[in-house]
Structure 1
Amino acid sequence: MASPELHYRWTWELAAPPAALWPLVSDTDRFNRDCGLPPVEIVPPAPGETTRLTNSRRLRLRIAGVPVEWDERAFSWLAPRRFGVERVYRRGPIARMRVQCELEPRPDGGTTLTYDVSVDAGSLFGQISASLVVGQFSQAAFGRIFRRYDEFAQRGLTLAARHAKPRLARGGAARLTAGSALLARICAAPLVHRLTDYIRSAEAASAARIRPYALADNWGADRRRTLELCLHATRAGLLDLSWDVICPHCRGARRREHDLSHIERRAHCESCQVDFEANFDRFIELTFVPNPAIRVASRPDYCVGGPQLTPHILAQEWVPAGATSHLPVSLTPGRYRARSRGSSYQPTFRVETGAPAVLDLALDGHDLADEPAVAPEGELRLFNADPVARLVAVEHLAWTNDAATASEVTALQTFRDLFSREVLRADEQISVSSITLVFTDLKDSTQLYSTIGDAPAFGRVLTHFEVLRAMVREEGGAVVKTMGDAVMAVFPRPLPALRATLAAQQRLARPDAFPLPEGVPVPRFALQPLALKAAIHTGPCLVLTQNDRLDYFGTTVNIGARLCSICQGAEIVISEAVETDAEVARFLREHAAVARTEVPLRSFGDRPFSIARVQLRNAESTP
């Protein structure tokens, strides 16, 4: 005789609104851990296995020594209103479980949170187990956890802000104190104090993947200074590097390496079942983890499919065969995509004020003439003409900017100074879709040697290198290499490159008016004015290891070098790609005189190439 289905429905009245509660309540990984559940393990499919549910994962764990294994269908959710999941058990006391959590807004600004659990016990033992675990324990435990989340939401805090009891390694406290003292000689003491406190007391999941930009935003600190703090802390023995390869679909860290030389261009995401090519400016992120001699911080999985594991996906819905799903969405303006696993057709749409309130999207591959739009508080109607159900994810196409990408980190002078051996494998090449390159050379350097003599001229050239390095460092770039009197530098964005180059030109042209940067030694010989030729170009490149250092190759590099050769000195030649950058365009309008022209470039078919020759309007100061 089949056991009856057990159904539990609990309701809590919370003070925070659904939008504030959603990031906390829908973080099912932390929720399961807060409930005291053990970590889960993904069970890989056996060779030739075809018995699993579509769009599901097989998971297992042990509770009180009892092995439990189940197939978990993909979560469905609609942020910030609801999420749910279904599990079909292969081993353990019960046969099936369905969970649905809903957050309904109240007129007073609060939230009514409803949690539904349906259990197919499958046996008398399963019925007893479910009654004890779900019926008695869960309601009280869930209530405590949701009320704690409500307190965090009202205070505007994230779960990462929670502190844990210190669990340092043997001797870890002494090492932390010694490393902090060393770090305080280099970095600002308040930041050092905050970092050491975080290493000591942050909860394990947060400490196991320290993201420097997220830390900086949480502290209200400068992002670059915080990143440099973490880099110096690694050298001081407080942290270790971790290079995370990010899946372009779920945007999760699918591989973590402690050495850049272990990163490969081709990568695979087991969760999404997709192959992809990692690039430096999006799919490789630098994070940090405490040095295990100070604290062992692990990040086990307690849930592998909840909404907060893919926060860029605002809705995920099962659309039945031949049916239409109606999704009342609440989206911020921008571009979105409706993606269905196994389908190459991924329609995109825009969310903008004043657009129609309803948008119909067919999932059958019918191309749209134009990218349609829907209002921020609108409705998506997803039609599935296929004979099978489709799992559709509605995702925001914009990536968050809180990742310290490999492109940014390797373009930082501090990183190159501290970790010069962090390079790619000799036979590996990884793309970067946009990087800014600066090429400089001294004008009439041969004449300088003959005019003031070899020794004074050489001293002046060395000083010029130090001035350039200091200006590049100050603006967040890095010197890649020197070639005779020439320099190649790299920046994540065009504007810092322009500012650094202008500052270097001024200091070299008028050493009497502009003091040498701090830390640059004054040469024994008189400071002779120097004219610096410079060019800036931005675009895609290949990153590879050359002469035991990270270097850049490709058309963008070649064009930048050619532009420097046509510079006349006392100016900066910039490409059209640099000039039209929004930040650069604003800077030029306010501070510079710009002469636009077209020039033929040798080795590029002598085709006309649009450039701008840039000079500061006021040469007496650096903007």
Structure 2
Amino acid sequence: MAAPGDLQPVPGPPDPPPDAIVVARRVRAPAARIWSVLGDSDRIDRVLGLPAAVYAVEVGADGLPVRVGRARQGPVRLEWEEAPYDWNAPVWLFGERRFRAGPVSSGGVRVLLSPEAKGSTRVEVAIWGRPRSFALRLLGPFLRWGTVARLRRLLDEVARASETGPQALERARDRLDRTGDPIVVNDDALARRLADARDVGVRADVLEALESALRTWPEGRVSPLDVGALAEAVGRPLRDVASDLLSATRAGLLELAWQVDCPVCRVAAAHAEALSEVGRRVHCGVCQVEYDVDFADHVEAVFRPHPSVRPHRLTVRCASSPAFRPHVRAQVR
């Protein structure tokens, strides 16, 4: 018997149902590199054309909290219960939804990355959904064809980028994350605010990188702004770039906000426009805990584009994605 606190082996994922759509290919790259793209069920849902969702934590039939997603696919209303997904990075990901409303009763995804000889990896993605009606089952072959085509395009892009290098991989992630959410930038406002930022002393190379980010980065990287990536792009210390971004807020190019991170799940539990608005206690809807806020450990400053320059349009397809919890290497229920 293992002693308390000992790490236990992580089991493998469940098998997908026999009628699942499965697309596989061999990629000449290590699993960790491929996981940076495919270890994100939110990104996979975007590529498959699933709609943006609104999530809430409710009380389930068993009296326990359950995450509920709601969306619309054209005229069709969708509502589902989404249990926490399971994963073991960078090897596998598995998740299922139980639908309360919509054309299917349940659906799921499994990603499996299996190392092979000479640094290659066998990549397998399985998708499934169980139709409620006989008519929808008759349409199954046509629906499968579209899903297979999207998955093949996804794996083709992942293979090309993974085999090329880190920069190509980052560009591929950005392209995929823009799927379904076109970037809207007010060119006149951006030009004015960039000029104002130069006047208040923001470095030219930081402004150039920031303009590129505002025009090309997907919403998940600008709201809040990925300051680390920006600092890496210009080759300057993070502290120097953050100082420039503070100056950019005075020019109206960016906004400064405050994010309160949950000490348990380490994702954002609350946001505030001003530090004075941060409460002494915060409730985390993800892990259902309430905690005292330690300003040194739990509160961080974040930057986002001023809405006159680029409106905030952050959307989520899958709230259970491992990508939202990069500090968690493995999670198995």
TM-score scaled by structure 1? Answer: 0.46
Contact 2:60–2:66 under 8 Å retained in 1:
no
Distance 2:129 2:84 in 1: 18
Post-superposition offset of 1:130: 4.5
The counterpart of 1:174, out of the listed 185, 188, 192, is: 188
Question: Any residues of structure 2 matched to 1:195-594 within 5 Å, and which?
Answer: 195-317=210-332, 391=333
**Paired position in structure 2 for 1:138:** 147
Q: Is there any run of 5+ residues in structure 1 with no aligned partner, and where?
A: 318-390, 392-623
Distance 1:212 1:256 in 2: 18
Question: Any residues of structure 2 matched to 1:34-183 within 5 Å, and which?
Answer: 34-45=47-58, 49-51=59-61, 56-128=66-138, 130-133=140-143, 135-153=144-162, 154-157=164-167, 158=170, 162=174, 167-169=184-186, 173-183=187-197
Distance 1:132 1:53 in 2: 40
CA change 1:199–1:101 in 2 (3 A) is same
Contact 2:112–2:124 under 8 Å retained in 1:
yes
Contact 1:257–1:263 under 8 Å retained in 2:
yes
Distance 1:53 1:141 in 2: 39
Distance 2:218 2:161 in 1: 15
**Paired position in structure 1 for 2:13:** none
Contact 1:94–1:130 under 8 Å retained in 2:
no
The counterpart of 2:46, out of the listed 1, 10, 33, is: 33
CA change 1:44–1:55 in 2 (3 A) is closer
Post-superposition offset of 1:85: 0.8
Q: RMSD between aligned alpha carbons?
A: 2.4
Secondary structure of the residue aligned to 1:289 is strand
Secondary structure of the residue aligned to 2:119 is coil
CA change 1:151–1:285 in 2 (3 A) is farther
Q: How many residues align?
A: 308
TM-score scaled by structure 2? Answer: 0.84
CA change 1:56–1:114 in 2 (3 A) is farther
Contact 1:95–1:121 under 8 Å retained in 2:
yes
Distance 1:53 1:309 in 2: 26
Contact 1:40–1:302 under 8 Å retained in 2:
yes
Choose between structure 1 and 2: higher helix proportion. 2
Secondary structure of the residue aligned to 2:329 is strand
Amino acid at match of 1:143: R
Post-superposition, which runs of at least 4 consecutive aligned residues in structure 1 deviate over 6 A?
Answer: none
Amino acid at match of 1:25: L
The counterpart of 1:13, out of the listed 26, 42, 56, is: 26
Post-superposition offset of 1:50: 4.1
Post-superposition offset of 1:5: 6.8
Post-superposition offset of 1:222: 1.4
Contact 2:21–2:148 under 8 Å retained in 1:
no
Post-superposition offset of 1:9: 2.0
Percent of aligned pairs with the same amino acid: 27
Post-superposition offset of 1:39: 0.7
**Paired position in structure 2 for 1:190:** 205
Post-superposition offset of 1:59: 1.4
Larger radius of gyration: 1
CA change 1:161–1:5 in 2 (3 A) is closer
Post-superposition offset of 1:217: 3.0
Q: Is there any run of 5+ residues in structure 2 with no aligned partner, and where?
A: 1-16
